[in-house]
Structure 1
């Protein structure tokens, strides 16, 4: 259900089977998998359990049980109220009443994948969630992000799945929320609305019950913030995890790099890989760009971006990082609708051809299908969304950006 690339890969750390919080009459409860209430078996009478959404006023569940566990179906943020009453000899008496209160509570947010784009899109909303609720926030994320994020947000506990399991992170957690791209969540159990309707970043806001008015971004403190080279330069990134994400114009990047160099910019490619692909399809960085690829720390790429005049890239993680570093982003993408990403006035899409299949709810992205093109695969229109984006179009947008920079 999540955006994890491997079907067999475990996406989340399991919560404890028994709720972590204690209440009168040996009742247990927590909000680690929605609202959960565990009730001891009664010899006489029944328990009456009510789950309510205080923001909407809706009673989500009300029923009588002799014992067992009652759980909400919704796993995203809901302002829950739990009420437990006991019924015995036709007399009803309230024994437990609890309203969700995250202040100073241990809250875990799980980020299930290690991709830069998803992480940089979602984590700003985890930060806002902590600010809003004053909770003790723990974030489970991929190891490669931890050093950079700990430096930037020392008040948050960042940990990996492995360490979270080793340290039994859910032994005393009050609540847990789950980031992800839930393609098959037709009942909206993990997300209030399908992510394809609201965008990669805004789905995190919906999951956490936050405002969607602003595109939130991280604030990063780098271990080295010095300028990497003295000359003016532009960063580019041309690689992607699936062919539909590429700019599939074979001469596009070469011509754009030539133009940038004619404007006296050095052009620095900061992709991870010089060559990337799958099967018989491989993509190389432009031969006329300077090669700064390789398995390097994220902080080094962030440093290159911090001092760049601007960034030219795809709907991919390094575009999200460039935006985070507060530089202008020229984004080239046809398979996503512009609302899928952060706002940039330099967004490039060709409306004259097929586009935005990623955000079409008729289709589920196939992570193991490198040549995914759900509408036109193996036809002359395969990848027309970016094949039809000309270098002229991209250069004109860059010219507008340079003009705006010169006016400042």
Structure 2
């Protein structure tokens, strides 16, 4: 930050401004505290006013990492601040001779912070420095309001992360945990997790939760977080779902989320299989041109009806469009998630790609045949019926060298515009998928 260099331990914290040094405000207009040290993310920002107050006038909280605001010191005194990880014993930031200032940690995931503040003065008689410990605080979630924020509009991610948020709420049962997420998804969880308060992002602001929260944790896939400030380890290394565990400081052991929905029984009497063929980008599709047709024909010969439960029967962009297989039964449409869960619960099994409906099928407890080549198997939940062809290019999504482009529907970073484009799923044959299906049928 130009002339400021007060952070230690590999830039684990930074000083916003201090009157005894060249400050940001002397070089540019000082932004509000709530907008500093954050990436553009679809979450409400923390309140500009820190939510915890000490009798000394020092304020702090753990929203957007550890935030400490030191008031103007008494005459002839300065502040000495130390910020540490009380679990590991590492000092993250330490500096003397501070005036009125704000210090923010760079790490915004779960850290058991410790804060120590001393008042430093020089006696007029002998010019000796004297320190008095003013604040000695250890992070403690008991009886506190905690906010966990999910991005809006991501079914698979939310289903993948909710079990870890629930594990956090159980681990810190004396705290009051709020989960902010889409109100289209939260009804699936409310009865299953009565110890969690579910709100929308708008309600976070309207109810002033961000102004009361002791700590806030944002869940997401942070592609460009090279210094691991928003996540302790790159999500591509640990898997899409387990990244939430590391952000929240809980066990990464995977567990299906518990969902609750009105169940009116079987939608049809015949044995059936649910499929979902659409995806948000082409690399997520099963790009074998005859794969779905062959698999559906095989299932029909085995006596199953095959029901397509995608939101859209046709999906794509520009000149690239994907159609529901003609030999599947059409139950596509913008249906409530509870209805999709009902169809899945009574299905014999589900076949699909790396999508939200695959996570929903896993959550209701049915076997999942998951077809994917652009992700590594560690990216999704474990299923013994995971389909990948190791003879082809694969796992580009989980390669930190390849930056996923959300705006490129035809993203294929290694082989775009060549004959090998999307070979990771083009070369997944119907034979390979049917082999996994037979494991379920013959079990």
TM-score range for the pair, normalised by the shorter chain length: over 0.9
1:287-326 matches, within 5 Å, as 287-326=326-365
Shift of 1:10: 5.4
Shift of 1:113: 3.4
Alignment partner of 1:20 out of 41, 48, 51:
51
1:267 aligns with 2:306: yes
Shift of 1:166: 2.1
Segments of structure 2 that go 5 or more residues without pairing to the other structure are: 1-38, 123-128
1:161-172 matches, within 5 Å, as 161-172=201-212
8 A contact 1:11–1:112 mirrored in 2: yes
Alignment partner of 1:131 out of 145, 163, 170:
170
Segments of structure 1 that go 5 or more residues without pairing to the other structure are: 1-7
Shift of 1:155: 2.6
| Residue matched to 2:62 | 31
8 A contact 1:27–1:38 mirrored in 2: yes
Alignment partner of 1:40 out of 71, 86, 103:
71
Alignment partner of 2:366 out of 306, 327, 352:
327
Tell me which structure has the larger Cα radius of gyration. Answer: 2
1:55 aligns with 2:87: yes
In 2, the alpha carbon distance for the partners of 1:260 and 1:393 equals: 14
| Residue matched to 2:120 | 87
Q: Secondary structure at the match of 1:197?
A: helix
Q: Secondary structure at the match of 2:190?
A: helix
Residues 42-79 of structure 1 deviation map (CA, whole Å, 9 limit, x = unaligned): 13311111111122111111112112111111000001
Deviates more, 1:183-192 or 1:217-226: 217-226
Q: Secondary structure at the match of 1:331?
A: strand
1:307-386 matches, within 5 Å, as 307-386=346-425
Residues 271-296 of structure 1 deviation map (CA, whole Å, 9 limit, x = unaligned): 10011111111111111111111111
In 2, the alpha carbon distance for the partners of 1:80 and 1:232 equals: 55
In 2, the alpha carbon distance for the partners of 1:95 and 1:397 equals: 64
Flag the structure with more relative contact order, 1 or 2, with Cα contacts below 8 A and sequence separation at least 6: 1
8 A contact 1:275–1:285 mirrored in 2: yes
In 1, the alpha carbon distance for the partners of 2:269 and 2:45 equals: 49
8 A contact 2:189–2:258 mirrored in 1: no
In 2, the alpha carbon distance for the partners of 1:209 and 1:9 equals: 23
Deviates more, 1:95-104 or 1:345-354: 95-104
Residues 366-389 of structure 1 deviation map (CA, whole Å, 9 limit, x = unaligned): 001000000000000000000001
8 A contact 1:24–1:96 mirrored in 2: no
Residues 229-249 of structure 1 deviation map (CA, whole Å, 9 limit, x = unaligned): 222111111110000000001
Q: Secondary structure at the match of 1:259?
A: helix
Tell me the TM-score normalised to structure 2 length.
Answer: 0.87
Alignment partner of 2:229 out of 189, 192, 214:
189
Tell me the TM-score normalised to structure 1 length.
Answer: 0.95
Q: Secondary structure at the match of 1:29?
A: strand
Alignment length (residue pairs): 396
Shift of 1:204: 0.5
| Residue matched to 1:122 | 161
1:103 aligns with 2:142: yes
1:390 aligns with 2:422: no
| Residue matched to 1:3 | none
1:206-225 matches, within 5 Å, as 206-212=246-252, 214-225=253-264
| Residue matched to 1:142 | 182
